Structure 1
Amino acid sequence: MPPSLPNVLRPLFRAVTYTRWLHLLIASVAGVLTGFLYNEPFFAGGWLTWLWMAVLPLPLLALAALIPVVRRVEGLQAQLLLTPGPHDRTARAASGIATTPSGSWRERGRTAVWLLLRLEAGVALSALTAQLPLLAWAFMMAATGRPTHLKGLPAIESPHWWYGLLAPLPLVLLSAVAVGAGALMAGAARLLLGPSAAERLAGLEARTERMLEHNRLAQELHDAIGHALTVTVVQAGAARAAGSPEFTERALAAIEDTGRQALADLERALRLLREDAPRPADRPTLTDAERLLESARAAGSTVRAELSGPLETLPGPVSREGYRMVQEALTNVLRHAGPVPVSVRMAADTDVLELEVRNPLPAAPPEPAGGGRGLRGIRERAALLGGEAETGPDGGEWRVRARLPLRQLR
């Protein structure tokens, strides 16, 4: 079924058609600049000029392709002028055109082929852009009864009105060639300037790292904000039940401090989500665990803590993740058991860090073993560090216990 007229004309109303046209016309500039070295033969006019433009720059372009940064420059031009739509970071990555310098001889070879192809296509389209409008003008002049003798075009000695019927044909041909050549060059750019296998692998690894980082941030927000909200709710309820101005004052102060810490955690996570922001180095560690114990005490729990070993010299990843594990365990106690007595043990030696949080079981068990997003997050954190975590009832108490290896991280 032949295409309808609107579909045929639609490319003429798209900006990318003209940016691609411009991209090809720019390629012929290399031929013009090279032609200045050859003065008279080059500027003799006619088809010989276009032939010189297509041939003279070839050695220089082949040498330019050996320069690694040329691939980057060509990739940026191709992304900007050959691919439609917005040119933000996501769109550029989806264009299929790389913007990295050549890293191998294979990439230099593909760049050389691209430069030569762009030159030849650009010179051909430039010649048609210069000559076909003149031919349309010649037909129009002949239709008015005037003979034409334009340089580089056949002379029309016998003008007639029917030449006016031919006048639109050169412009239609030029438009069709420009649209087709632009689409072909966009495809060639993806083939010749597209990422290599190594670049695709590096991109996949980078996307995987970003996804893992976002998942970790989601867990961070769940632990930090969930802990803050749980402590706030428990403190507010205890203050209302106590009916004591002194207790209410202490509860409000604890709520204020907990909210401030939650805002700091939220800002830290948001800075990490912004790719152009510096990565914060102030994530809390086990040396800051006292503030977790104090917030649990402020919520009404009696906390007995046992800390042993060099907690301040623990590897950064272990100390940071250990803090989040203790935070989530205390949040779980307050959320499901309320302000009950809690025992917290943190013990480190040269080989392993042990974390344990215990509290009396309420009338209804808090969560089935193996269930719950927070407890699952504790187990996942432990597994990522090569350790293990256990959660569940143990002798009339609810126990969260984690063992994290240290020797392989030092």
Structure 2
Amino acid sequence: MPRFFRPLTRAVTYTRWLHMLIGAGMSLICAFVFPGVVKPSFGDWILIVVLPIPLVASAALVPAMRRAEGLQARLMLIPGQHARVKGGGEDSGISVTPSASWSDRGRTAVWLVLRLEAGCAASFVTLQCLGSALALLGASTEPPQTSGLLVPLPGQGWANALLVPIPLMVLMAVVVVAGRLMTAAARRLLGPSPSERLAALEERTEQLLERTRIARELHDSIGHALTVAVVQAGAARAAADPEFTDRALDAIEETGRAALEDLERVLRVLREDERPASGRPTLADAERLLESARASGAKVDTEVTGPLESVPGPVSREGYRMLQESLTNVLRHCGPVPVRVRISVDDGVLGMDVRNALPAGTPATGRGGSGLRGIRERATLLGGRATTGPCDGGWQVHVELPLG
């Protein structure tokens, strides 16, 4: 189908046309009261177009008017998901919230006046074009009736029937162009205010942060469980000792069960389940991580100073994940090597230091991958700091988090 005729096949073209015609309703109502619609003069037509302006502008003072106009504009001016048009169903860019400021009321008033005048113009063009088409059709057999028409018609003759499509094509061209202009004006005048855009941006940022947090939770928990399972399975196969194999299977079972609990908790959050999700582990559960690392063959030397129970919940939970990722990083990249873990609570600061030896031939360069980067990001969000990198021929993860 030629591009010129494509808009004629879309429902939104006709809903936009109807939307503009509805806008002239207030002028028609006022015209019945004054100055009347029976043989109006040119001055009467001016009054019909101008008199309703204060009335529709004052309607914008009602906050709900902006919502009503926004809903109507979305429904009739914007292509829906069913529309065969590029971008159909996407964000309309039109707000459906009540006016919250005088700026919103002012833009709504301008929109209502624009819609009134555009409706009057669309009604006038529609009547003129349809009247001309009918007059041309009648003039093919009878003398032309030009009463009320601005465009003069040729005399009687069968050739007039061939001219009928011209006013109809002019009408549709005006409808398509005017509909697009009204849609652009609606996005401009009924679009979100700066405060609404800021609120939407903040909501979007919170959603992204929540997704990032959930991704980190899964990365830390599932990554740790899989790393422990791989290391334990490899060690059990290499040892070929039934007693060691039993301990390895126990460690794999315990770690896998903990990972399943974390996974179920995250899935409940994603499903917005009304049932309360199980509590996230804290540093009080750190012994489980240390025992899991020891069961994997790592020699873990632990020292804890200060009351861990005094650490606030958010700091303690994030500290647990940082310790988990640190031990996972050791097992994944270095295997069962000696590890020294120091956790301290002193002077309103939670300190955590994890150091491990590097296997022979392993270069101590770089700052690690996404897991260690996640540790640094977690610490920054909590107002602390974390450093990761080579230290005295080994690898160190050092974290300091304020408790306030």
TM-score, normalised to structure 2's length?
Answer: 0.82
Question: For 2:313 and 2:143, how far apart are their aligned partners in 1?
Answer: 87
3-state SS of 1:162 partner: helix
- Describe the shift of the 1:171–1:231 C-alpha distance in structure 2 as closer, same or farther (beyond 3 A): same
Change in CA separation of 1:47 and 1:122 when aligned onto 2, cut-off 3 Å: farther
SS in 2 for 1:26: helix
> What is the match of residue 10 of structure 2?
14
Most deviating of 63-72 and 228-237: 63-72
Distance in structure 1 (CA, Å) of the matches to 2:79 and 2:118? 20
Residue 77 of structure 2 corresponds to 82
Residues 342 and 357 in structure 1, CA contact (< 8 A), matched pair in contact too: yes
Task: Determine whether 1:370 maps to 2:367.
Answer: yes
Q: Number of residues paired by the alignment?
A: 397
Partner of 2:230: 233
Q: 1:266 to 1:82 in 2, by over 3 A?
A: farther
1:353 to 339, 342, 350: 350
Greater Cα offset, 160-169 or 246-255: 246-255
Instruction: Tell me, yes or no, if the aligned pair for 1:301 and 1:339 is still in contact at 8 Å.
Output: yes
Alignment of 1:40-189 (within 5 A): 42=36, 44=38, 54-55=49-50, 57-84=52-79, 86=81, 94-143=91-140, 145-147=141-143, 152=148, 159-189=156-186
- The 1:92/1:207 distance shift into structure 2, 3 A limit, reads farther
Q: Unaligned regions of 5+ residues in structure 2, if any?
A: none
CA deviation vs aligned residue, 1:32-62 (integer Å, no higher than 9, x gap): 56667x3x96564778998776455433322
Distance 1:393 1:163, change over 3 A: closer
After superposition, where does 1:238-257 map in structure 2 within 5 Å? 238-257=235-254
Contact 2:63 2:100 in 1 (8 A): yes
Deviations 1:117-156 (A, max 9, x none): 112212332343355334312321221x135659855898
Distance 1:256-1:152 versus aligned 2 partners, 3 A rule = farther
TM-score normalised by the chain length of structure 1: 0.81
1:23 alignment partner, one of 19, 26, 51: 19
Cα distance 1:277–1:178, how it changes in 2: closer, same or farther (>3 A)?
farther
Shift in CA distance, 141/231, structure 1 to aligned 2, threshold 3 Å: same
SS of 2:351's equivalent? strand
1:354 Cα shift? 0.8
Q: What is the rounded CA distance, in whole Å, between the counterparts of 1:342 and 1:172 in structure 2?
A: 82
In the other structure, the counterpart of 1:334 is: 331
Q: What CA distance in whole angstroms lies between the structure 2 residues aligned with 1:26 and 1:224?
A: 59
Deviation at 1:168, TM superposition (A): 1.4
Task: Tell me, yes or no, if the aligned pair for 2:35 and 2:48 is still in contact at 8 Å.
Answer: no
Whichever residue aligns with residue 99 of structure 1, its letter is V
CA-to-aligned-CA distance 1:255-300 (integer Å, 9 cap, x gap): 34433433444455566667x7889784433233333233323433
CA gap 1:100/1:287 in 2 versus in 1, 3 angstroms:
farther
In the alignment, which residue of structure 2 is the partner of 1:192? 189
Please identify, of 374-383 and 278-287, the stretch whose mean Cα deviation from structure 2 is larger.
278-287
Shift of 1:163: 1.9
Q: Residue 123 of structure 1 aligns to a residue in which SS?
A: helix
Displacement after TM superposition at 1:228 (Å): 1.8
Alpha carbons of structure 1 residues 339 and 84: separation in structure 2 relative to 1, 3 Å: same
Mean Cα deviation higher: 345-354 or 210-219 = 210-219
Deviation at 1:22, TM superposition (A): 2.7
- Matched with 1:381 is 378
Asked whether the 8 Å contact 2:348–2:403 carries over to 1, the reply is yes
Task: Report how far residue 199 of structure 1 moved.
Answer: 3.4
User: How far apart are the structure 2 equivalents of 1:291 and 1:219?
Assistant: 20
Distance across 2 between alignment mates of 1:157 and 1:354? 95
Q: Which residue identity does 1:160 align to in structure 2?
A: G
2:308/2:345 contact within 8 Å kept? yes
| CA shift for structure 1 position 355 | 1.1
Identity of aligned residues (%): 59
Counterpart CA distance in 2 for 1:381 and 1:366 is: 26
SS in 1 for 2:2: helix
Q: Would the aligned equivalents of 1:147 and 1:157 in 2 still touch at CA under 8 Å?
A: no
Whole-angstrom distance in 1 between the partners of 2:154 and 2:376: 91
Contact 2:281–2:320 (8 Å) recurs in 1:
yes
1:333 counterpart letter in structure 2: V
Of residues 285, 289, 296, the one that matches 2:286 is 289
2:15 aligned partner, one-letter code = T
Q: Give yes or no for contact 1:389–1:401 (8 Å, CA) kept in 2.
A: yes
CA–CA distance in 2 between the matches of 1:221 and 1:191?
Answer: 43
The alignment partner of 1:230 has SS state of helix
**What are the superposed Cα offsets for residues 274-329 of structure 1, whole Å, 9 maximum, x if unpaired?**
7x788978443323333323332343334444334343342333222211110111
Residue deviations 1:218-267 (CA, integer Å, cap 9, x gap): 43333222212211111221232333445434433433443343344445
